[in-house]
């Protein structure tokens, strides 16, 4: 079984411990699939996700939206130690920009 309009975020990487490729899905971080080839790992994790989504729908559980389908506000809160906050505030003042602009610039580098 495969999902129609599957927009989930998949990744395949090598597992040194298992000596196989592992297929992962960002929206379902507890699930994975091991295979001998990257292509088989991707097929395997996509099938696992399709089966899990089917089961969730049948039992009335909410199915996660794909990361690509979600709306983002562009705002999030980051907690840092006070000394880091002070250093960033000083850097922003010296650069003549807001702390928000400085932090945004550092995050996009």
Flag whether pLDDT at 2 surpasses 80: no
On whether both 63 and 17 belong to a single domain, the answer is yes
Q: Where are the beta strands (DSSP E) in the chain?
A: 10-15, 20-25, 32-35
Q: Which pLDDT value is given to residue 89? A: 96
Flag whether pLDDT at 4 surpasses 90: no
On whether both 93 and 54 belong to a single domain, the answer is no
On whether both 29 and 62 belong to a single domain, the answer is yes
On whether both 33 and 83 belong to a single domain, the answer is no
The per-residue pLDDT for range 29-40, each reduced to its tens digit, is: 999 999 999 999
Number of domains the chain is built from: 2
Flag whether pLDDT at 66 surpasses 80: yes
Residue 16's domain spans which residues? Answer: 10-68
Q: Which pLDDT value is given to residue 8? A: 97
In a domain, 89, yes or no: yes
Flag whether pLDDT at 55 surpasses 80: yes
Q: Are 45 and 9 in contact (CB under 8 A)?
A: no
The per-residue pLDDT for range 87-99, each reduced to its tens digit, is: 999 999 999 999 9
- Cα angle 65-69-73, degrees, rounded to a multiple of 5: 105
On whether both 15 and 64 belong to a single domain, the answer is yes
Q: Which pLDDT value is given to residue 5? A: 79
């Amino acid at each position: 079984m495969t999902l129609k309009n599957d927009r989930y975020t998949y990744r395949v990487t090598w597992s040194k411990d298992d000596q196989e490729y592992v297929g992962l899905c960002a929206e379902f971080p507890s699930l994975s699939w091991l295979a001998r080839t990257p292509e088989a790992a991707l097929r395997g994790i996509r099938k696992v996700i399709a089966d899990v989504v089917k089961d969730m729908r049948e039992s009335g559980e909410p199915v996660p939206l794909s990361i690509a389908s979600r709306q983002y506000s562009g705002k999030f809160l980051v907690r840092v130690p006070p000394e880091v906050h002070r250093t960033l505030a000083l850097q922003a003042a010296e650069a003549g920009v807001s702390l928000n602009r400085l932090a945004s610039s550092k995050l996009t580098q």
